[in-house]
C-alpha cells in the first residue's frame, strides 16, 4: 500500500491509498473553494447522560446529485470533484459538511472505489484489503488527536438508510467522548467480569454463539453469527476469533482472511430478498444496510471499574432495516420512544436464511 496525503482547495486533508507503490499523486484541486466554516457543537443531555451533536451547517450539504455530478467520482473531462485526480483506488478526505469538527471531533469520508455504479460487495479481495488498511490507518491517526476519544468506521448503503450520495463510500467519525452504545457494552463487561471472578463477556458470547444454530459463516480467524437478541430483522455480528480491542491489533492472518469473509457476508445480504440488482427489471433493489465497526475507546475508561482496553472485543455489526421484500422495519413508538426493539424476524430464521443464500 502507498499512502499520499494532500490538501483540497479549502484546506481539508485528502489521502490517497494505492495498491501500487509507484503510483504518483500530484493532481491539484482547482476549484475556487472558500475555507470550510462549521458550527458543530456538542451538547450533553443531563437526564440521559448522552451527547448530541448540533451541526446546523449540514442543512446545505449535497443531496442526491445526478450521477454525472457526483462529488465522489474522480475529476475527469473538465468536471471537478472532491477528488482532484482522474482515478483512484481508495480515498479518504475530511467531510465538507462534518457533524463533528475542531474540539468536537472530526468526520471523514472513505471512497471505496472510483466506480460510481459498484458497491462494496463488488470489490475484489485485494481492493477490500486496501479499504481495511485505510480504516486501520485512519483509526491510528485520529486516535492521536487530542479531542478524540473513540473512532467509528462505518458504511451506510441505500436510499432507505438515508444515504444522500449514491457512490460507494463510508464514513469515519472521531468522537470526543465514548459513545452511549459502547458505554453500555463496557458496563455489561465490567459487571460480568466482577460477577464471574474475571471472565470476559465478549469471549463468553463468541464461544456460545460460535458453536450454535445462529452461525452464518466462519473461517479460521473470523466467525459471523446472528445474535440471540438481534434488534434488526437481519443482523450479523462478525468477530475475529482472537480478541483484540481495535483494528490496529489485528494480526496478519486475520487481516488476510477478512476480505474473503466480509465480501461473502455482504453478497449474502444482497441475496436475502432474491437478488440485488433492481436495474435489471422486476428484481428487488439492493439490500439497504449499515455496517459498523465497534472499537475500544482510546480514553475515558476510568468510569468503568475493572475494565481496560484489552477487555473490549473489536467486532463489526451489519444489519438491514428491510424486514421482508418491499417492507421496511420502522423505528416507531417502542423503539424510538423507549429504546425497546421489537424484531419481526426470529434470529434463528434469519441465520438460516443467510446460510441458504451462500455462494
Active-site residue set: 169
Q: Find the helix or strand (DSSP H, E) in which 316 lies.
A: strand 315-320
Question: How far is Cα of residue 187 from the mean position of the Cα atoms in its chain?
Answer: 23
CA distance 48 to 234: 28
- SS3 for 120-137, per residue? HHHCCHHHHHHHHHHHHH
Collapsing DSSP states into helix, strand and coil, what is residue 184? helix
Separation between Cα atoms, residue 92 and residue 94, nearest integer Å:
7
Closest C-alpha among 247, 224, 174 to residue 354: 224
Query: What sections of the chain are H helices per DSSP?
Result: 125-143, 180-195, 201-209, 252-271, 338, 347-356
Produce one character per residue of 311-345: b if its CB has 16 or more CB atoms within 10 Å, e if not. bbbbbbbbbbbbbeeeeebeeeeeeeeeeeeebeb
Select from 62, 57, 124, 64 the least CA-distant residue to 89.
124
Do the Cβ atoms of 295 and 309 come closer than 8 Å? no
And the C-alpha cell for 264?
461473502
Residue 240 corresponds to which cell in the numbers above?
A: 475475529
User: Taking the CA atoms of the chain, what radius of gyration do you get in angstroms?
Assistant: 20
Concatenate the DSSP letters of all residues of 228-276 into one string: TT-SSSEEEEEEESS--SSGGG--HHHHHHHHHHHHHHHHHHHHTTS-S
Amino acid at each position: 500500500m502507498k499512502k499520499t496525503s494532500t490538501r483540497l482547495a479549502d484546506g481539508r486533508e485528502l489521502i490517497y491509498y494505492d495498491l501500487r507503490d509507484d503510483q504518483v499523486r500530484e493532481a491539484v484541486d482547482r476549484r475556487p473553494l472558500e475555507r470550510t466554516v462549521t458550527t458543530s457543537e456538542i451538547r450533553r443531555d443531563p437526564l440521559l447522560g448522552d451527547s448530541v451533536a448540533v451541526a446546523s451547517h449540514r442543512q446545505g450539504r449535497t443531496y442526491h446529485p445526478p450521477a454525472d455530478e457526483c462529488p465522489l467520482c474522480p475529476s475527469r473531462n473538465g468536471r471537478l470533484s472532491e477528488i482532484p485526480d482522474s482515478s483512484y483506488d481508495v480515498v479518504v478526505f475530511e467531510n465538507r459538511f462534518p457533524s463533528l469538527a475542531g474540539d468536537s471531533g472530526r468526520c471523514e469520508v472513505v471512497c471505496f472505489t472510483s466506480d460510481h455504479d459498484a458497491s462494496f460487495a463488488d470489490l475484489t479481495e485485494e481492493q477490500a484489503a486496501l479499504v481495511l488498511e485505510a480504516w486501520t490507518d485512519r483509526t491510528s491517526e485520529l486516535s492521536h488527536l487530542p479531542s478524540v476519544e473513540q473512532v467509528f468506521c462505518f458504511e451506510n448503503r441505500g436510499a432507505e438508510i438515508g444515504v444522500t450520495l449514491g457512490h460507494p463510500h463510508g464514513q469515519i467519525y472521531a468522537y470526543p467522548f465514548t459513545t452511549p452504545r459502547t458505554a453500555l457494552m463496557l458496563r455489561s463487561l465490567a459487571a460480568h467480569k466482577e460477577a464471574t471472578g474475571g471472565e470476559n463477556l465478549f469471549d463468553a458470547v463468541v464461544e456460545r454463539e460460535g458453536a450454535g444454530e445462529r452461525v452464518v459463516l466462519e473461517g479460521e480467524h473470523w466467525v459471523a453469527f446472528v445474535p440471540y437478541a438481534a434488534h434488526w430483522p437481519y443482523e450479523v455480528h462478525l468477530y475475529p476469533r482472537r480478541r483484540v480491542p481495535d483494528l490496529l491489533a489485528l494480526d496478519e492472518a486475520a487481516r488476510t482472511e477478512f476480505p474473503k469473509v466480509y465480501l461473502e457476508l455482504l453478497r449474502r445480504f444482497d441475496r436475502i430478498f432474491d437478488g440485488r440488482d433492481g436495474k435489471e427489471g422486476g428484481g428487488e433493489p439492493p439490500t439497504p444496510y449499515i455496517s459498523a465497526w465497534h472499537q475500544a475507546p482510546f480514553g475515558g475508561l476510568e468510569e468503568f471499574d475493572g475494565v481496560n482496553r484489552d477487555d473490549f472485543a473489536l467486532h463489526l455489526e451489519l444489519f438491514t432495516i428491510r424486514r421482508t421484500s418491499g417492507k421496511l422495519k420502522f423505528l416507531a413508538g417502542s423503539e424510538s420512544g423507549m429504546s425497546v426493539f421489537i424484531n419481526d424476524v426470529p434470529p434463528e430464521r434469519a441465520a438460516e436464511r443467510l446460510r441458504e443464500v451462500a455462494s
